[in-house]
Amino acid sequence: MHTRGDLLCPLQEGRDLAAAIPNARFVVLQGRNHVIPEDDPAADRFFEELRLSWAHRAASPGRP
């Protein structure tokens, strides 16, 4: 996951990193923070994406 307006690390660097990870899905979050504070509007989506990822992993036995 990467915020669209991250002022520390460009969005393309996040895309490139995700592209190098097998089976990765790149998620763009709205915002400019590199570290997303709890009260940031992007935090809800960040945690929802984590939950979805963990649920998918739990449902896929045998995956590392």
Domain spans, the chain = 2-58
Question: For residue 13, what pLDDT is reported?
Answer: 96
What is the value of pTM for the model shown?
0.76
Tens of pLDDT along 12-60?
A: 999 999 999 998 999 999 999 999 999 998 999 999 999 998 887 777 7
Higher pLDDT pick, 63 / 41: 41
d(CA 16, CA 36): 20
d(CA 21, CA 16): 9
